[in-house]
Chain A
Amino acid sequence: MNVLLGIGGADDSLDALDETVARAVDAGDDLMVAVVENPESDRVPEELVDAARAALEDAGLPVDVRRLSGDPGSAIVELAESEGFDQVVLGGGQRSPMGKIRLGHISEFVLLNSRVSVKLVR
């Protein structure tokens, strides 16, 4: 399967990176990691590109990392649709102090606008 993982730097997107890389190894998926700028995150894109490259390299997968500019949600949707991906993977939200799950704005946008199936990682 052709998988596009979008990460913006919130903690849940780093969990999604670990899990998606492991899944790609098990399932033999072709995985591309797209790094977007998430205004809700303190991590800078360069840091995320390095983290994604390291994770792919350590797993023995091809290092396919791309930085997307512009609105993060629409950039992920556009890339997924224009390059024929089978699935978009995103972080599955962060927990509030009392444990409620809150989806990030990027996830909400992609869920509502993508024609490609979306997977949220918990």
Chain B
Amino acid sequence: MVGERVYPETVAAEFPRPPVSFTDGEGRAVEVGAYEQPVPPGAAPAHDESDPPPAERAFEAVVEMYATFDPADRAQGVPPVGETRIREWLDTLLAREGFDVLAWNGDIVAGHATLVPDSASTYELAIFVHQDYQGAGVGTRLIEALLGHGQEHGVEYVWLTVERWNRPAVALYEKVGFETASAESFEMEMSIRLN
């Protein structure tokens, strides 16, 4: 079911599926991969404490990215500030069974993009690129891979809100095919059809 939000009539082009590897504008090797949730404690087979499983390492690397995220790049109250709040927020976000992709530069998470399901079977999109990796083409690859990941899993309708004065973000969303759905508020709404 689709709510009152307006979506483009045309289905967007096919996006690349993760994993996607590329060299960013600063010459760094970046790989965008789908993020799988860590298995809850108890459900996982026992492992050596000194060597956490990949999903857990990925979670900690995401926390690290947000813990050092420039507060000036926050928008609409996210990401929260402080590690405790960041963990709470990520736990809630990731528990909603949406779709997530991470941009890796070696062991470092350079960016995170997410599709969070809402009550209307549509998905809210958000993307965060760490300040050390901004302006190097990471955001474009990251959002394209997220949309490809969603397409692959049958996601149809995706929406987002963005502060109207955040021009770089609006430009990125328009570049990949988002259209303005509503611009009456401080934040404008944009949407895209994936399938």
Tell me the A residues contacting B by CB distance below 8 Å: 95-103, 105, 108
Contact = CB atoms under 8 A, between A and B. Distances in A.
B117 A100 contact: no
Contact of B76 (A97, A100, A105, A108): A100
A98 to B, nearest CB: 4
The interface residues of chain A, by DSSP majority, are classed as loop
B77 A98 contact: no
Interface string B169-195: 000000000000000111100000000
Contacts, number: 42
A96 B186 contact: no
B6 interface: no
Contacts of A95: 77
A98 B185 contact: no
Contacts of B93: 98-99
B114 interface: yes
Contacts of B117: 97
Contact of A97 (B77, B80, B89, B118): B118
A98 B126 contact: yes
Nearest to B189: A102
A101 B116 CA distance: 15
A102 B116 contact: no
B50 interface: no
Contact of A108 (B96, B116, B185): B185
Nearest to B79: A99
Among B77, B89, B118, B184, find the residue whose CB has the most chain A CB atoms closer than 10 A. B77
Nearest to A100: B76
6 contacts: A96-B124, A98-B78, A98-B116, A99-B78, A100-B161, A108-B186
